[in-house]
Every structure is written in C-alpha cells, then in structure tokens.
C-alpha cells in the first residue's frame, strides 16, 4: 500500500501539538541537553550527540571547578559563610529539578515535607552568594524556603518570627558543571528577637531535621557517618515522592574554619560543621490523574517559562519527520 507511509507521517504531524503539551515533554524542553534523551524514540541519533555527561553521583564537587562548599555571608569580617550541607542530586526526577510548584516540581516536593516560600513573599537582608564550581562564579541565592509549621500559606511567617528551620539554595547549572543539582545552606535559626542567630549545632541539626521530615523518623545526628543511608516517602497534591538519602564526607571539612557564627554553633570543643553532606535523590512514584491528562486537565497547565523552549523541540521533531518523509 504505497499511501500508508505518507499517511502515517501526516498523522504524526497532526499529533505534534498534543505531544508537545504532554506534561512529560516539559521535561524534554528543559535546556539541559541530557534531559532531551526522552526524545530519542523520535530521533535515535540525538543521544550520541549529547555532549554533557551526568556525573555518576548526580552532582559535581564544587572544589573540582574552583568553587567552595561554604557560602559567602554579606557583612562578615573576616569573611565567613554557611555550609552547603544538603544536595538534591541531579539524578532526581527531572520534574523535581524544576523550581516550580506545577507538575510535582521542586516547590511541590518541599510542600510535601512542610517547607514553603517566605512569609507573604517578603525577603529581608542581603542575599548570600555561592560558587558551585560550574563556571558561574559566586551568584546570589535563588530563594529561601522555611519550615511552615503545617501551614503552607502563612506558616513561614511564624518561622520568621519564632525562628526555625530554613535553607537558601543554588542550582549547579553553569556551562562547565551542569548537573542540575540543588545545593542548600540549611540551618536552624533563633527567633527574630534574638537577631536570627543559629542555635547550638544548628547547621547539622537543621540538615538532619529536614532529612527527618523526609524520612518521618528522627535522625540521630551524633550517630551519623559517611555510610549512613535512609529512605522516605512523602506526598503533596497527589504526587508521591520516594527519596533516598546518603550522607557523604569529603565535600565539606569537619571544621569551624570560615563558618559564620562558628563560636556559638560549635560549643564545648565541637566543630560547627561535622563534615557530612546529605545527598538526596528524589523519584516521583505516583502522579495524580489530573497531572497526566494533558492540556485538558487542570493539573496539566503548561509553565509559561517552558513555552519558548518547546519551540526548538517542536522544530527538531518537525525536521526529523520531514527527513523521514523524504526518505520514503
Ligand atoms: C545580587 O543581589 C544584590 C543585592 O540584592 C543585587 O544588588 C545584585 O544585583 C544581585 N545580582 C544579580 C546578578 O542578580
Ligand atoms: C521536622 O522538622 C521540624 C522543624 O525543623 C522538627 O522539629 C522535627 O523534629 C522534624 N521531624 C523529624 C522527624 O525530624
Ligand atoms: C544517638 O547516637 C549516639 C551515638 O551513637 C548514642 O549514644 C545515643 O544514645 C543515640 N541517641 C538516640 C536518641 O538514639
Ligand atoms: C569515610 O570516612 C572515613 C573516616 O571516618 C574515611 O577514612 C573514608 O575514606 C570515608 N569514605 C568515603 C567513601 O568518603
Ligand atoms: C490533583 O489531584 C490531587 C488529588 O489526587 C489534589 O490533591 C490536587 O489538588 C489536584 N490538583 C489540581 C491542580 O487540581
Ligand atoms: C568530626 O570531628 C570530631 C573531632 O574533632 C569527631 O569527634 C567527629 O566524630 C567527626 N565527625 C564526623 C561525622 O566524622
């Protein structure tokens, strides 16, 4: 049947707009070329063209690219910073690596463990900066998420006043080390009336209380080693996440050197930082039905940011189909 092949190409072309609107394709629209491998079904030779290689552990050690695991806190003398003590691995589900609440993204995951954006969108104080060794140098923190005391809308106002757990974060996405991983400076702060200092052992405890919020069981900070691993399952808005956590050494020193508030955080001879970083790899194990119904579903709302990125993807698809049609 000579007409069959051209017809199927035509049919595929008809399907293109809906393919591009599938929630999954928002992942492929991510500028990181690694993630467009989900389109290898349509364009099998693209995989070998992808230049970057995902590091096996899901992040690049900042020091390898001239970066550092301590942030720079503004207004400190001598210059001091906070430890980057949690990493969300670049091997996590690509949806989770998108800083968005839609489609089960980063913000939705953090709502599943009780963290949300700042009180009424306010932000006080100068940003800290960090150099993740990805070629971007020192850049401002992306944002701060705070423990919300069970109230996603207003709970972070309580955190701001009473103190509590919070983290600033950066993404390792520069050209020379584009893992897509998130690096957090996590700490547990005192009430605003006490100048938002950090509590005793507040870097290690902030890290471990956040991890405890993922595992839903307390983490014993003093018992941790570089072989400690945990898993946890959490959910929000119908998305179910399974996280695996591994504590690693070798990225941060077990030390107080250069650490902000070191004198009040590390007391009785203890270092302010124990030298362990919790590496979290997050998988989405269940998506709600309303997130997979494409353009028709309320959960399938397209992030406006991803629309420009969809254009090249659609163009690639069109041209590969055209090549296919020429070959018939
Ligand atoms: C970083 O933050 C400072 C202080 O808010 C601001 O002046 C500066 O423009 C920011 N830099 C970038 C690159 O956004
Ligand atoms: C969850 O976080 C809160 C606030 O930091 C903390 O008090 C609580 O102990 C954490 N839960 C677990 C199980 O670690
Ligand atoms: C935490 O670990 C330390 C050291 O292994 C141990 O002495 C302590 O009893 C543990 N605490 C709890 C609450 O399990
Ligand atoms: C774990 O820590 C020990 C020291 O406590 C060190 O000798 C070892 O090299 C570390 N292992 C890894 C994989 O970092
Ligand atoms: C999708 O469904 C889940 C329950 O499965 C619900 O919690 C969530 O709010 C819904 N999301 C939207 C955008 O309707
Ligand atoms: C950090 O160093 C102290 C000694 O300064 C040691 O007691 C502690 O076990 C070390 N912590 C880790 C996690 O290796």
What is the predicted pLDDT for the residue at 194? 85
Residues 6+ apart with CB under 8 A from 319: none
Angle at the Cα of 158 from the Cα atoms of 153 and 161, rounded to 5 degrees: 140
Which ligand 6 atom is at minimum distance from the Cα of 254? 1
**Domain co-membership, 108 together with 256:** yes
Q: Which helix H or strand E contains 234, and what residues bound it?
A: strand 229-236
**Domain co-membership, 113 together with 128:** yes
Q: Per residue of the chain (328 residues), what is the pLDDT tens digit? A: 344 444 333 333 333 333 333 333 333 333 343 433 333 333 333 333 333 456 888 999 999 999 999 999 999 999 999 999 999 999 999 999 999 999 999 999 999 999 999 888 887 789 999 999 999 999 999 999 999 999 998 999 988 888 999 999 999 999 999 999 999 999 999 998 887 799 999 999 999 999 999 999 999 999 999 999 999 999 999 999 999 999 999 999 999 999 999 999 999 999 999 999 999 999 999 999 998 644 333 333 344 444 444 444 344 434 444 444 444 4
Whether residue 18 is contained in a domain is answered as no
**Domain co-membership, 74 together with 104:** yes
Whether residue 297 is contained in a domain is answered as no
Q: Which two tokens stand for residue 36?
A: 């467009």
Protein residue with its CA nearest to atom 12 in ligand 3 = 220
Q: How many CA atoms lie within 13 A of 121 on its CB side?
A: 0
Q: CB of 305 closer than 6 A to ligand 3?
A: no
The size of the chain, in residues, is: 328
CA–CA dist 211, 219 (Å, integer) = 7
**Domain co-membership, 156 together with 210:** yes
Pocket of ligand 1 (CB under 6 A): 126-127, 140
Q: Which two tokens stand for residue 220?
A: 């014993």
Whether residue 301 is contained in a domain is answered as no
Angle at the Cα of 102 from the Cα atoms of 101 and 107, rounded to 5 degrees: 15
Whether residue 177 is contained in a domain is answered as yes
Q: Which ligand is nearest to the CA of 137?
A: 1
Measured in angstroms, how far is the CA atom of residue 224 from the centroid of ligand 4?
12
The answer to whether the peptide bond before residue 78 is cis (omega within 30 degrees of 0) is yes
Protein residue with its CA nearest to atom 6 in ligand 5 = 237
What letter would DSSP give residue 289? G
**Domain co-membership, 242 together with 328:** no
Beta strand spans in 46-181 (E): 86-88, 115-116, 129-130, 139-140, 143-147, 164-171
Q: CB of 250 closer than 6 A to ligand 4?
A: yes
Write out the residue range of the structural domain in which residue 39 sits: 1-9+26-53+306-328
**Domain co-membership, 153 together with 254:** yes
From first CA to last CA, the distance across the chain in angstroms is: 13
As for how many domains the chain has, the answer is 2
CA–CA dist 110, 293 (Å, integer) = 24
**Domain co-membership, 75 together with 201:** yes
**Domain co-membership, 175 together with 96:** yes
């Amino acid at each position: 049947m000579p007409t069959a092949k051209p017809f199927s190409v035509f049919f595929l072309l008809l399907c293109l707009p809906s393919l591009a609107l599938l929630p999954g394709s928002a992942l492929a629209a991510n500028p990181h070329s690694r993630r467009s491998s989900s389109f290898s079904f349509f364009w099998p030779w693209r995989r070998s063209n992808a230049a970057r290689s995902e590091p096996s552990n899901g992040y690049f050690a900042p020091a390898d690219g001239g970066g550092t695991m301590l942030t720079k806190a503004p207004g400190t003398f001598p210059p001091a910073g906070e430890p980057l003590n949690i990493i969300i691995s670049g091997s996590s589900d690509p949806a989770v690596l998108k800083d968005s609440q839609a489609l089960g993204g980063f913000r939705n995951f953090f709502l599943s463990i009780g963290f949300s954006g700042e009180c009424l969108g306010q932000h006080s104080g100068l940003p800290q900066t960090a150099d993740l060794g990805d070629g971007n140098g020192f850049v401002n923190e992306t944002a701060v998420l705070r423990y919300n005391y069970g109230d996603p809308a207003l709970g972070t106002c309580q955190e701001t006043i009473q103190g509590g757990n919070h983290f600033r974060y950066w993404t390792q996405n520069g050209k020379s080390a584009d893992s897509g991983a998130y690096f957090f400076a996590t700490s547990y702060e005192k009430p605003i009336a006490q100048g938002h200092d950090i509590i005793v052992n507040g870097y290690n405890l902030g890290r471990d209380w956040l991890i405890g919020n993922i595992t839903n069981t307390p983490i014993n900070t003093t018992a941790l080693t570089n072989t400690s691993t945990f898993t946890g399952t959490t959910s929000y808005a119908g998305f179910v996440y399974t996280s695996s956590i591994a504590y690693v050494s070798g990225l941060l020193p077990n030390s107080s050197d250069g650490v902000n508030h070191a004198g009040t955080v590390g007391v009785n001879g203890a270092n302010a930082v124990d030298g362990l970083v919790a590496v979290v790899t997050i998988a989405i194990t269940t998506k709600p039905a309303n997130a997979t119904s494409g353009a028709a579903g309320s959960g399938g709302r397209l992030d406006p940011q991803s629309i420009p990125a969809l254009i090249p993807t659609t163009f690639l698809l069109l041209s590969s189909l055209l090549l296919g049609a020429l070959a018939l």
